[in-house]
């Protein structure tokens, strides 16, 4: 190639473009040798080459393209081949946009554009870029326009930064009012898709253990193929890609058919219509949970802003989804709690109605002994029912707060089942159920609290009986494994809806199982079962095929291997009422409660004195020296603890039997009562039979 640099000294000097200009065969170029160029072209080229601002010149009817070093960075791999070529050949991909602007300049009209977006092809890929530039006509030697002079700056980085900020604001505004997880993902996917002008944005949930992902939803540009609802294998898309996602790193692939990591798996991408992609992972607890991907149907060079917007969308979306789920769970919990409180009010009002009616009837017919006996029986049954409701509430509260201590010892689960069946048999019989037991021949021993284990099995059997129509079948099976004892309670009752099975053991959830509350109860049994089983190191689960398909509850407890010597239980002889009557003092500021309790004790042959104030009770006890003092704790002038301490200091009352009666039944309340000098602690409403046995027992011991 002939060197024509001597023909034009302005090509001398530093710079890559000058070096290229010196090497061009200008004889073959429409511009001809530089020495023959018109002075106007020479002047503008000289100005351009000596500038540090990106510039180009397009000269003559064919708009031959010349540029400087700073513009060469915009050219990418079009440099140096673009020097001396026709403008429309150099920038053919954007010529339909540029041609009218160039025509205006050649007609003598200047133009200015700020942040004009163009899809340009450089570095072997098509990419979106923005430019601020002006086209100015340059006079030729004949007096007309000889060419175009352009000063240009690429503003892609600034525009993308503003777009990311605008996208962040738009996304925040869009997601702020949404409360549904589905709506959040849909709105965020659409926002990202439109901002990045991709063909598809999809959200996939990953089952990393199975190596699959489920495409929950996708947003599509017009004409794009939906893949929502499909399940795909992770490894079908390249182990290196998935490994990077598992490590928590986003990945951008400009061309899945040539990328070293994705090309061997091109068929999987082709089946989804993917030519280029950006994927952002969600990793929690070291596991890949979800993937957000945006796809182009053709190869595309991704900018940092594309990846940043995808990451921003993923982070904000997942945060919004978690918040929406938490708020939804809170709303659902509050709703269940409200339903529970309404049910609790209903359950408490039910026994109050017959109690109120019975009391009024007794007042009207006090001389009718048979009617009084029958109404008293009604009151006793309803009070026991109300006491059971309150005990259930307190029991589940203590257990769920971890305030229960297990008295653990080796237990044969067959004995536990026998005790539970004994308790539930009246309900089974009342509903005419057929109860079948299938127990193993070998010992099924666990380490646990006998009372609590009986409570667990009883609750499961009660639950089965309550929700199985009359004449149904309840079956209890037990099996042993080397490390477990498995108990199943199976019924052919009303079943459990699939959406309820995941939370049937939660507090307040069971009230939804059926609108039929004819069996009563607060629906706390299964929550109590779950907590007690967990305290024993076991697990409980349920299964039902749906409405009217019955239910199966499975209980798994660790098997106790060592078989210790059988321990003979301590026998507690039943104490019958003694012949001797006792002098008993009752102190309770609830006058009705004190009077009724006094009447009960008097009916058993005891001498009873009643006071409603602590100081009056202390004075009476000092004078009368009762053998037994029954004291309320919540007294107005001096609480029962202090009264008990003072009574112990009275000469002659050192051995008196002190019984605390209170509405507080926590273990801490019991310990405080014993520390104050009480011998017994009873929770209101008082179990009358138990109180009479305590009094009778004191009479027996006092006579020894």
Residue 392 confidence (pLDDT): 64
Average pLDDT, the chain: 83
Least confident of 145-154, 325-334, 336-345: 336-345
User: Does residue 107 register a pLDDT over 80?
Assistant: yes
Report yes or no on whether pTM surpasses 0.95: no
Q: What 3-state class would DSSP assign to 499?
A: helix
Residue 517 confidence (pLDDT): 40
One fold for 5-154 and 409-558: no
Share of the chain above pLDDT 70, in %: 85
Q: How confident is the model at residue 1 (pLDDT cuts 50, 70, 90)?
A: very low
Q: For residues 261 and 238, is the Cβ–Cβ distance under 8 A?
A: yes
Q: Give the CATH architecture of domain 409-558.
A: 2-Layer Sandwich (3.30)
Rounded Cα distance between 597 and 588, Å, is: 10
Fold (CATH) for 583-703: Rossmann fold (3.40.50)
| Residues ≥6 apart with Cβ < 8 Å to 575 | 693, 696, 697, 700
Which CATH code for domain 5-154? Answer: 3.30.450.20
Q: For residues 119 and 127, is the Cβ–Cβ distance under 8 A?
A: yes
Q: What is each CA distance from 70 to 10, 16, 51, 53, 94, in whole angstroms? A: 17, 10, 8, 6, 20
Rounded Cα distance between 387 and 685, Å, is: 7
User: Does residue 574 register a pLDDT over 60?
Assistant: no
Residue 387 confidence (pLDDT): 72
Q: Give the CATH architecture of domain 160-327.
A: 2-Layer Sandwich (3.30)
Q: How confident is the model at residue 68 (pLDDT cuts 50, 70, 90)?
A: very high
What are the sequence ranges of the domains in the chain? Answer: 5-154, 160-327, 409-558, 583-703
Rounded Cα distance between 231 and 236, Å, is: 12
């Amino acid at each position: 190639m002939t060197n024509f640099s001597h023909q034009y000294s302005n090509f001398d000097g530093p710079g890559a473009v000058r070096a290229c200009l010196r090497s061009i065969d200008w004889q073959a170029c429409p511009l001809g040798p530089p020495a023959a160029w018109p002075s106007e072209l020479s002047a503008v080229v000289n100005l351009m080459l000596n500038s540090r601002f990106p510039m180009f010149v397009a000269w003559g009817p064919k708009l031959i393209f010349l540029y400087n070093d700073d513009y060469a960075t915009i050219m990418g791999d079009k440099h140096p081949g673009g020097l001396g070529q026709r403008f429309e050949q150099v920038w053919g991909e954007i010529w339909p946009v540029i041609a009218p602007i160039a025509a205006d300049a050649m007609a003598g009209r200047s133009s200015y554009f700020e942040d004009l977006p163009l899809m340009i092809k450089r570095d072997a890929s098509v990419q979106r870029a923005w430019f601020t530039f002006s086209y100015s006509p340059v006079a030729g030697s004949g007096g007309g326009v000889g060419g175009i002079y352009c000063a240009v700056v690429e503003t892609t980085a600034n525009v993308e930064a503003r777009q990311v900020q605008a996208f962040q604001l738009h996304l925040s505004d869009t997601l702020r009012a949404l409360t549904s997880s589905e709506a959040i993902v849909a709105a965020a996917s659409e926002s990202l898709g439109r901002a990045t002008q991709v063909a598809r944005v999809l959200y996939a949930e990953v089952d990393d253990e199975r190596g699959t992902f489920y495409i929950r939803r996708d947003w599509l540009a017009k004409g794009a193929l939906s893949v929502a609802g499909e399940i795909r294998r992770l490894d079908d898309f390249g182990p290196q890609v998935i490994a990077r996602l598992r490590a928590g790193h986003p990945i951008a692939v400009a061309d899945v058919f040539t990328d070293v990591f994705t090309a061997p798996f091109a068929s999987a991408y082709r089946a989804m219509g993917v030519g280029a992609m950006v994927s952002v992972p969600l990793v929690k607890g070291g596991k890949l949970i979800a993937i957000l991907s945006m796809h182009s149907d053709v190869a595309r060079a991704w900018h940092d802003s594309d990846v940043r917007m995808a990451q921003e969308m993923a982070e904000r979306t997942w945060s919004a989804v978690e918040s929406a789920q938490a708020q939804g769970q809170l709303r659902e919990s509050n709703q269940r709690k409200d339903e529970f409180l309404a049910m609790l009010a209903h359950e408490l009002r039910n026994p109050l109605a017959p109690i109120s009616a019975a009391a009024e009837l007794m007042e009207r017919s006090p001389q009718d002994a048979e009617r009084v006996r029958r109404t008293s029986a009604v009151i006793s049954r309803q009070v026991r029912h109300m006491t059971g409701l309150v005990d259930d509430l307190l029991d589940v509260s203590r257990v769920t707060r971890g305030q229960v201590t297990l008295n653990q010892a080796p237990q044969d689960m067959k004995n536990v089942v026998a005790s539970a069946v004994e308790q539930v048999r009246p309900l089974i019989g009342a509903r005419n159920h057929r109860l079948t037991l299938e127990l193993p021949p070998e010992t099924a021993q666990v380490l646990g609290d006998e009372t609590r284990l009986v409570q667990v099995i009883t609750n499961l059997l009660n639950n089965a009986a309550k929700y199985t129509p009359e004449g149904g079948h309840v079956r209890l099976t037990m099996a042993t494994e080397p490390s477990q004892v498995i108990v199943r309670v199976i019924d052919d009752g009303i079943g459990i809806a699939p959406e309820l099975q995941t939370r049937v053991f939660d507090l307040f959830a069971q009230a939804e199982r059926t609108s039929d509350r004819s069996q009563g109860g607060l629906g706390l049994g299964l929550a109590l079962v779950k907590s007690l089983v967990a305290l024993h190191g076991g697990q409980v689960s349920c299964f039902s095929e749906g409405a009217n398909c019955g239910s199966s509850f499975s209980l798994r407890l660790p098997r106790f291997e060592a078989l210790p010597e059988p321990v003979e239980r301590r026998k507690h002889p039943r104490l019958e009422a003694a012949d001797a009557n006792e002098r008993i003092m009752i102190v309770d500021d609830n006058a009705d409660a004190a009077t009724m309790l006094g009447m009960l004790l008097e009916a058993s042959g005891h001498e009873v004195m009643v006071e409603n104030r602590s100081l009056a009770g202390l004075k009476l006890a000092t004078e009368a020296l009762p053998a037994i003092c029954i004291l309320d704790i919540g007294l107005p002038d001096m609480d029962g603890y202090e009264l008990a301490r003072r009574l112990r200091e009275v000469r002659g009352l050192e051995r008196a039997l002190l019984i605390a009666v209170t509405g507080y039944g926590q273990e801490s309340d019991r310990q405080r009562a014993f520390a104050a000098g009480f011998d017994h602690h009873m929770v209101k409403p008082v179990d009358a039979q138990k109180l009479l046995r305590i009094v009778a027992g004191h009479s027996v011991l006092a006579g020894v």
